[in-house]
Amino acid sequence: PAAIHRADYRPPDWLVPAIALEFDLDPARTVVRARLEVARNGEHDRALRLDGEELELLSLAVDGQAVDPQFEDGQLVVPLTGASAVVETEVAIRPQVNTKLMGLYASGGLLCTQCESQGFRRITWFPDRPDVLSRYRVRMSADRQRFPVLLSNGNPVDGGEGPDGTHWAQWEDPFPKPCYLFALVAGELSVNRDSFTTASGREVELGIWVREDDLAKTGHAMRALKDSMAWDERTYGREYDLDRFNIVAVSDFNFGAMENKGLNIFNTRYVLADRETASDADFDAVAAVVAHEYFHNWSGNRVTCRDWFQLSLKEGLTVFRDQSFSEDMGSQAVERIDQVRTLRAAQFPEDAGPLAHPIRPDSYIEITNFYTATVYNKGAEVIRMLRTILGPDDYRRGTDLYFERYDGQAVTCEDFVQALEDASGHDLTQFRRWYSQAGTPTIRARLVQEDGAAVLHLTQSTPPTPGQADKLPMVVPLRTALIGRESGREVAGEQVVLLTEAEQTVRFEGVTEPALLSINRDFSAPVIMQVERAAGELEALAISDTDSFARYEAIQELALRELLKGIGGGEVQADPVIAALRSTLLSNALDPAFKADALILPSETMLAERLDQSDPSVVHRVRDDLRAAIGTALRSELEDAYAASSRADPESLTGEDKGLRRLRAATLGYLAAADPERARALAAAQFDAARTMTERQSALGMLAMVGGSEAEAALGAFYERFKGDPLVIDKWFGVQASVAAEDTIERVEALAAHPDFTLANPNRLRALAGSFAATPFAFHRADGRGYEWLADVILKADAINPQTAARFVPPLGRWRKVEPGRAALMRSALERILAAPGLSKDVFEQASKSLG
* Whole-angstrom distance, CA of residue 661 vs CA of residue 695: 7
- What's the DSSP call for residue 738? T
* Whole-angstrom distance, CA of residue 81 vs CA of residue 285: 52
Angle at 706 between CA 705 and CA 708, to 5 degrees: 115
Query: Minimum distance from CB of 113 to Zn ion (Å)?
Result: 17
Query: Minimum distance from CB of 267 to ligand B3K (Å)?
Result: 10
Cα 225 to its chain centre, rounded Å, is 19
Q: Does 258 bind ligand B3K (CB under 6 A)?
A: yes
Strand duo 4-5 + 203-210: pairing:
unpaired
Q: Choosing from 88, 116, 259, 293, which is the catalytic residue? A: 293
Q: Is the bond preceding 850 in cis, omega lying within 30 degrees of 0? A: no
In 192-329, which residue ranges form alpha helices assigned H by DSSP? 219-236, 280-295, 311-329
Closest CA to 132 of 243, 262, 11: 11
Q: Which residues, in sequence order, are bridge partners of residue 428? A: none
Query: Minimum distance from CB of 311 to ligand B3K (Å)?
Result: 8
Query: Minimum distance from CB of 359 to Zn ion (Å)?
Result: 14
**String of contacts with ligand B3K for each residue 287-326, x by CB under 6 A:** -----xx--x------------------x-----------
Query: Minimum distance from CB of 318 to Zn ion (Å)?
Result: 5
Q: Which is nearer to ligand B3K, 296 or 661 (CB)?
A: 296
Q: Considering CB distances under 5 to 8 angstroms, the limit depending on partner class, which of Zn ion, ligand B3K, none binds residue 117?
A: ligand B3K
3-state secondary structure of 171: strand
**Containing H/E element for 401?**
helix 392-406
Query: Minimum distance from CB of 313 to ligand B3K (Å)?
Result: 12
Q: Does 842 bind ligand B3K (CB under 6 A)?
A: no
Residues 117-146 that bind ligand B3K (CB under 6 A): 117
Q: Which is nearer to Zn ion, 254 or 318 (CB)?
A: 318
Q: Which is nearer to Zn ion, 267 or 460 (CB)?
A: 267
Q: Considering CB distances under 5 to 8 angstroms, the limit depending on partner class, which of ligand B3K, Zn ion, none binds residue 679?
A: none
CB atoms within 10 A of CB 653: 18
Q: Please check whether residue 350 is in contact with residue 288, taking contact to mean a CB–CB distance below 8 angstroms.
A: no
Q: Which is nearer to ligand B3K, 52 or 316 (CB)?
A: 316
Q: Which is nearer to ligand B3K, 299 or 424 (CB)?
A: 299
| Residue of closest CB approach to ligand B3K | 116
Q: Please check whether residue 183 is in contact with residue 115, taking contact to mean a CB–CB distance below 8 angstroms.
A: yes
Q: Considering CB distances under 5 to 8 angstroms, the limit depending on partner class, which of Zn ion, ligand B3K, none binds residue 192?
A: none
Q: Considering CB distances under 5 to 8 angstroms, the limit depending on partner class, which of Zn ion, ligand B3K, none binds residue 255?
A: ligand B3K
**String of contacts with Zn ion for each residue 315-354, x by CB under 5 A:** x--x------------------------------------
Q: Considering CB distances under 5 to 8 angstroms, the limit depending on partner class, which of Zn ion, ligand B3K, none binds residue 522?
A: none
CB contact set of 176 (below 8 Å; sequence gap of 6+): 17, 133, 134, 135, 408
Q: Which is nearer to Zn ion, 315 or 562 (CB)?
A: 315
Q: Which is nearer to ligand B3K, 322 or 597 (CB)?
A: 322
Instruction: For residue 160, report the phi and psi dihedrals to the nearest 5 degrees.
Output: 170, -170
Cα 608 to its chain centre, rounded Å, is 22
The number of residues in the chain equals: 852
Site size toward Zn ion (CB under 5 A) is 2
Closest CA to 762 of 211, 291, 102, 161: 102
Closest CA to 114 of 104, 99, 128: 104
Q: Considering CB distances under 5 to 8 angstroms, the limit depending on partner class, which of Zn ion, ligand B3K, none binds residue 764?
A: none
* Whole-angstrom distance, CA of residue 438 vs CA of residue 358: 4
Q: Considering CB distances under 5 to 8 angstroms, the limit depending on partner class, which of ligand B3K, Zn ion, none binds residue 523?
A: none
Q: Does 266 bind ligand B3K (CB under 6 A)?
A: no
Q: Considering CB distances under 5 to 8 angstroms, the limit depending on partner class, which of ligand B3K, Zn ion, none binds residue 471?
A: none
Query: Minimum distance from CB of 119 to ligand B3K (Å)?
Result: 8
Query: Minimum distance from CB of 238 to ligand B3K (Å)?
Result: 16
Query: Minimum distance from CB of 114 to ligand B3K (Å)?
Result: 7
3-state secondary structure of 378: helix
Q: What is the largest CA-CA distance in the chain?
A: 92
**Is 90 part of the annotated catalytic residue set?**
no
Q: Please check whether residue 94 is in contact with residue 28, taking contact to mean a CB–CB distance below 8 angstroms.
A: yes
Q: Does 116 bind ligand B3K (CB under 6 A)?
A: yes
Given phi > 0 = left and psi -120 to 50 = alpha, else beta, which region is 422?
A: alpha
Closest CA to 584 of 551, 626, 632, 537: 551
Query: Minimum distance from CB of 806 to ligand B3K (Å)?
Result: 10
* Whole-angstrom distance, CA of residue 242 vs CA of residue 402: 21
Q: Considering CB distances under 5 to 8 angstroms, the limit depending on partner class, which of Zn ion, ligand B3K, none binds residue 371?
A: ligand B3K
Q: Please check whether residue 294 is in contact with residue 223, taking contact to mean a CB–CB distance below 8 angstroms.
A: no
Task: Tell me how many helices (H) and strands (E) the chain has.
Answer: 30, 31
Cα 24 to its chain centre, rounded Å, is 35
Site size toward ligand B3K (CB under 6 A) is 12
Helix, strand and coil content of the chain, in percent to the nearest 5, comes to 45, 25, 30
3-state secondary structure of 166: strand
Q: Which is nearer to ligand B3K, 257 or 641 (CB)?
A: 257
Q: Which is nearer to ligand B3K, 289 or 702 (CB)?
A: 289
Residues 346-385 that bind ligand B3K (CB under 6 A): 368, 371
Q: Which residues, in sequence order, are bridge partners of residue 454? A: 449, 508
Q: Does 259 bind ligand B3K (CB under 6 A)?
A: yes
The DSSP code sequence of 43-58 is S--PPEEEB-SS-EEE
**String of contacts with Zn ion for each residue 510-549, x by CB under 5 A:** ----------------------------------------
Angle at 735 between CA 730 and CA 737, to 5 degrees: 95
The region of 184-192, 256-264, 472-480, 494-502 touching ligand B3K under the rule CB under 6 A is 256-264
Closest CA to 4 of 375, 365, 412: 365
CB atoms within 10 A of CB 493: 11
Query: Minimum distance from CB of 181 to ligand B3K (Å)?
Result: 9
**String of contacts with ligand B3K for each residue 214-253, x by CB under 6 A:** ----------------------------------------
3-state secondary structure of 652: coil
Query: Minimum distance from CB of 420 to Zn ion (Å)?
Result: 20
Cα 502 to its chain centre, rounded Å, is 32
In 568-609, which residue ranges form alpha helices assigned H by DSSP? 574-586, 592-599, 604-609
Q: Which is nearer to ligand B3K, 255 or 718 (CB)?
A: 255
Binding-site member from 255, 508, 687, 733 for ligand B3K (CB under 6 A):
255
Query: Minimum distance from CB of 113 to ligand B3K (Å)?
Result: 12
Q: Which is nearer to ligand B3K, 261 or 658 (CB)?
A: 261
Q: Which is nearer to ligand B3K, 284 or 293 (CB)?
A: 293
Q: Which is nearer to ligand B3K, 258 or 558 (CB)?
A: 258
* Whole-angstrom distance, CA of residue 751 vs CA of residue 63: 57
**String of contacts with Zn ion for each residue 280-319, x by CB under 5 A:** -----------------------------------x--x-
Q: Considering CB distances under 5 to 8 angstroms, the limit depending on partner class, which of ligand B3K, Zn ion, none binds residue 368?
A: ligand B3K
Residues labelled as active-site residues: 293
Please give the residue ranges that form the binding site for Zn ion (CB under 5 A).
315, 318
Contacting residues toward ligand B3K, per CB under 6 A: 116-117, 255, 257-259, 292-293, 296, 315, 368, 371
